[in-house]
Amino acid sequence: MAPAPSPRHQMVVGRLYRLLCDHVEARGTGIALVSPCDVYLSESDVPQPDLLVLLNEHRDRIRDDGVHGPPDLAVEVLSPSTGAQDLTLKREIYRLAGVPEYWILDPRAQTVSLWRLQESPERTLFKLDDRLASPLLPGFEPTVRAMFEP
């Protein structure tokens, strides 16, 4: 069995989940889900992102056993045991499956990397005092600090 995520990892996941959930629910634009939740992208690719968002037009992808099809946003929080996969393999799996946006939160560096997977191979890097902004979630602009510090 893989080791459980660290308490720090889970705190970051929890903070971002709260921010995302509050945003999409208040606006009535979608739903945020937290891991573990299987995401069926193909017969062989079934990742469990730390967080994901499905906008209303894709809520029909939610089934009893998980999400069938790409989420609108997949989020991973780096940890020593999975960081290399999150940065390479998972990013490519999400891109090929049609996931529009992928975020990686790095608790050690206190940064957020945002990829618009269907538009560009380049990432946008947000640092501690930056406001995270995404065209996928209009009006969602928390500081990166809000994700890493109480």
pLDDT in tens, 81-126: 666 676 778 889 999 999 999 999 999 899 999 999 988 888 999 9
Q: Report the number of secondary-structure helices (H) and strands (E) in the chain.
A: 4, 9
Amino acid (1-letter code) at residue 137: L
pLDDT value of residue 27: 93
pLDDT value of residue 103: 96
What is the overall mean pLDDT for the chain?
A: 90
Give the H/E segment covering residue 18: helix 7-27
Evaluate whether 126 touches 132 at the Cβ level (below 8 Å).
yes
* pLDDT at residue 1 greater than cutoff 60: no
Measured CA to CA, the distance from residue 6 to residue 121 in angstroms comes to 30
pLDDT in tens, 54-70: 999 999 999 999 999 99
Say if domain 7-148 classifies as CATH 3.90.1570.10: yes
pLDDT value of residue 9: 85
- The structure tokens 């490519």 sit at 92
pLDDT value of residue 120: 86
* pLDDT at residue 143 greater than cutoff 80: yes
User: How distant, in Å, are the alpha carbons of 104, 124, 139, 149 from that of 131?
Assistant: 15, 12, 11, 14
